[in-house]
Amino acid sequence: MLIDFNNLNINQLSFNTEFEKKVGSFLQEWISESETVKVQTSGSTGAPKIFDIEKKKMINSAVMTCNFLGLKEGDTALLCLPVEYISGKMMVVRSVQRKLKLIVAEPSLQPVENLEEEIDFCAMTPLQVEHSLDKLHLIKNLIIGGAAVSESLKNEIHQINPGASNRIFETYGMSETLSHIALRQIMPVAKEYFTAFENVSVSLDERGCMKIFAPAVNAEVLQTNDLVEIKKGNQFRFLGRIDNVINSGGAKIFPELLEALVKKEIPNESVFIGLQDESLGQKLVLVIEGEPSEVLKDSISKIPFEKNFHRPKEILFISGIPRTPNGKVNRIELCKIISEN
């Protein structure tokens, strides 16, 4: 279905599918007299939570994104993310705020499968992008969020070369920042650092984890567990989550950095975990999604890891890596599965 927010009469809209009805329910909540809406967290780092967010702060977030991307009234956007989460809700709010024409598509691995005409804006998860490479040339501005964009996916995007006029960004954010507060360009030129939006400041705590102050969307200084390297005040490079750090024989290992190296060499989803070990404390293990393969093991053996202790002590294969409802790797569940088996 198509919702034209430049000429909206919600009472004339027909919401037919279950997803369309959820969008309609959120729209009713948005135009209600309440100053807040309810948002659910993804549950990727703990139990899912539901909390209230002020509408005016969601509008502020929408303005920052629309201004950065240069979206204007009458542009076309595509919603293909669940509206239970902030990612989907913010796509609707951006469309309301900037009076966009919003195409509502059922969230799936191939959300743009039936797309035939060019659109101005879309947000997807990495998994959705991976299954939509043949349609990326139809999206003028694409933001990818919900999980880190793997090196292998970046390579695939560059190989298909959507077009000089197409822009693709990786997002950085969380529910508490109302979607993202920084973007890193993937296309047409790949950038190493995220750039925070205007009026967003970032700093480090004593652990090296980032603190975010974005008063337009959250009055509090947000303390993250993300280890980062800051450059030029408003640019930063993500190193990994401190709660994912593996302590093996006294050495601290950032699994996300190792995963980026591995994904440059093999196409399979790969996750480093730390399993309990009597001598090392935690043993570094690489879990690969797919059938057992000596070819993949051989490729990994040739990777020039910076440190010898970065090389996995064991490589395991699993038919499917567990994920949260919005597509993030569920490391806690993965460790549990591997430990029990």
Say if 230 falls within a structural domain.
no
pTM: 0.77
For the chain, the average pLDDT equals 90
pLDDT single digits (tens) 194-232: 999 988 999 999 999 999 999 999 889 999 999 999 998
Q: Compute how many other C-beta atoms are within 10 angstroms of the C-beta atom of residue 70.
A: 12
Examine the domain organization and report whether 275 and 181 are in the same domain: no
- Distance between start and end Cα atoms, the chain: 46
Say if 205 falls within a structural domain.
no
Examine the domain organization and report whether 187 and 251 are in the same domain: no
Residue that wins the pLDDT comparison between 48 and 56: 56
For the domain that residue 177 is a member of, what is the CATH number? 3.40.50.12780
Say if 223 falls within a structural domain.
no
Structure tokens at 179: 């979607």
Q: How far is CA 211 from CA 51, 190, 214, 321, in A?
A: 21, 25, 10, 30
Examine the domain organization and report whether 167 and 275 are in the same domain: no
Say if 42 falls within a structural domain.
yes
- How many angstroms from the chain centroid is the CA of residue 339? 27
Confidence of residue 13 (pLDDT cuts 50, 70, 90): confident
Q: How far is CA 70 from CA 75, 98, 191, in A?
A: 10, 10, 20
Can you give the three-state secondary structure of 151-208, one letter per residue?
Answer: HHHHHHHHHHCCCCCCEEEEEEEEHHHCEEEEEEEEECCCCCCEEECCCCEEEECCCC
Is 78 a residue whose pLDDT tops 60?
A: yes
CB 318 within 8 A of CB 337: yes
pLDDT value at residue 32: 92
Q: Kindly report the backbone phi and psi dihedral angles of residue 194, in degrees, each rounded to the nearest multiple of 5, phi listed first.
A: -75, 150
Confidence of residue 337 (pLDDT cuts 50, 70, 90): very high
pLDDT value at residue 314: 94
Q: Which of 175, 199, 223 is the last residue of a domain?
A: 199
Query: In angstroms, rounded to a whole number, what is the distance separating the alpha carbons of residues 226 and 221?
Result: 14
pLDDT value at residue 48: 64
Examine the domain organization and report whether 51 and 173 are in the same domain: yes
Say if 169 falls within a structural domain.
yes
Question: Tell me, what amino acid is at 118?
Answer: E
User: Which of 25-29, 32-36, 326-330 is the least confident region?
Assistant: 326-330
Examine the domain organization and report whether 149 and 271 are in the same domain: no
> Which DSSP state fits 134?
G
pLDDT value at residue 329: 86
Say if 221 falls within a structural domain.
no
CB 255 within 8 A of CB 271: yes
pLDDT value at residue 233: 82
- Give the 3-state secondary structure of residue 92: helix
CB 75 within 8 A of CB 116: no
Examine the domain organization and report whether 71 and 187 are in the same domain: yes
Q: Which of 199, 226, 260 is the last residue of a domain?
A: 199
For the domain that residue 257 is a member of, what is the CATH number? 3.30.300.30
Classify the C-alpha dihedral 168-172-175-181 as positive or negative: negative
User: Which of 21-35, 64-78, 151-165 is the least confident region?
Assistant: 151-165
Find the domain containing 262 and state its range.
245-340
**What's the structural domain count of the chain?**
2
What is the pLDDT averaged over residues 265-288? 91
